[in-house]
Amino acid sequence: MATCPNGHPSGADDYCDVCGTQMSGGGVAASLTVQPPTQVAAAPAGGEPCPVCQAPRAGQFCEVCGHDFNAPAETQGHSDLHTPGPGPGVPPSPPTRWEAIAGADRAYFNEIIAEGGPDAAAMAFPPYCPERSFAMAGRHVRIGRHRSSGGNDPEIDLSGPPQDPGVSHLHAVLLLRDDGGWDLVDPGSANGTRVNGKALKVNVPVPVKPGDRIHVGAWTVITIRENMP
C-alpha cells in the first residue's frame, strides 16, 4: 500500500484514497485554496489503531474507513454507519426528514479561482451539474467520494461525473444529535469545508439547520433541507 505526501495509506497510486492529493507532486486537490490545507497529525508510534482497517488514529473519525472512535462499543463497525441503532435513551432518527441537496455554485467557484493556486488556470466549472438529493438518515452521514480501491462509499457520494477534484474521499461528516438536529465536522479534509461562508476548524462540530449551505471542493454546494411530515 502506497503512502501519500500527507502520510495517509492509499490503495491507489495516482491520487490518495483519503485526501485526494496526487501521489507524486502537487495535484489539483492539493493546490486548491478553499482554506490553507490543514494537516492532521498522525498518531504516534504505538498509538490507537482503527479497529476496522488498522490505520493510525488522527481524530474522531478514521480517515481511511470513516470509523467513529467515540461511538459506543456495541455500535462499532462499518455497518453502523449505514444502519445504526440508537443508543440508550437516544430517540430514533426521523426517517428521511432531512435531506442534503448537492449542486454546483458558480459564485463560489469564481471565489476559489480568484484566490489562486498552481492549477487554478486549469480548473473548469462544469457546464452541466444536475442537483442530487441525499437522505440524511442514521447517526452518521459521511460526505466524500467513492474510493477506487474499494470500501464503503460515503452516504453523500459526490463522485462524478462531473467530479469536483477538491473533494476528499472522507471530506466531512454530519452527526445526528440527541435532540434530532445535526452537527457538521470536518475530520481533516485536504481543502477544508465552509458553512454559510465560514471555514470550519478541524474536528470541531458546528450545528447546521435547514437552509444552511455547505461548500466543499472547488465548486460543490450542499444545501440542507427539512421535509415536513
User: Where do the domains of the chain lie?
Assistant: 1-229
> Checking phi first, is residue 92 left (phi over 0); if not, alpha (psi -120 to 50) or beta?
beta
71-120: per-residue pLDDT in tens?
654 444 333 333 344 555 555 544 558 999 999 999 999 998 898 766 77
- What is the maximum alpha-carbon separation in the chain? 53
Is residue 112 within 8 Å of residue 220, measured between CB atoms? no
d(C-alpha 6, C-alpha 86), whole Å: 35
pLDDT grade, residue 202 (50/70/90)? very high
SS3 for 121?
A: helix
Is residue 31 within 8 Å of residue 190, measured between CB atoms? no
Is residue 98 within 8 Å of residue 211, measured between CB atoms? no
CA pseudo-torsion sign 163, 166, 169, 170:
negative
Phi, psi of 114 (to 5 degrees): -65, -25
How far, rounded to the nearest angstrom, does the alpha carbon of residue 204 sit from its chain's CA centroid?
14
d(C-alpha 193, C-alpha 186), whole Å: 7
Q: Which of 133, 141, 5 is nearest to 80 (CA)?
A: 141
Residues 134-160, mean pLDDT to the nearest whole number = 88
Residues 211-216, mean pLDDT to the nearest whole number = 97
Q: Look at residue 44 and tell me whether its pLDDT is greater than 50.
A: no
Residues 51-63, mean pLDDT to the nearest whole number = 68
The residue among 108 and 19 whose pLDDT is bigger is 108
Helix (H) or strand (E) holding 106: helix 106-114
Beta bridge partners of 157: 144
Sheet hosting strand 182-185, strand order edge to edge? 156-157, 140-144, 170-176, 182-185, 206-208
Q: Look at residue 185 and tell me whether its pLDDT is greater than 90.
A: yes
Is residue 196 within 8 Å of residue 217, measured between CB atoms? no
Looking from the CA of 114 toward its CB, the CA atoms found within 13 Å total 6
d(C-alpha 35, C-alpha 32), whole Å: 8
Q: May I ask the CATH architecture of the domain 1-229?
A: Sandwich (2.60)
Residue 84, pLDDT score: 43
48: exposed, middle or buried (C-beta count within 10 Å: 0-12, 13-18, 19+)? exposed
Residues 11-30, mean pLDDT to the nearest whole number = 54
Distance linking the first and last C-alpha atoms of the chain: 47
By percentage, how much of the chain surpasses pLDDT 90?
42
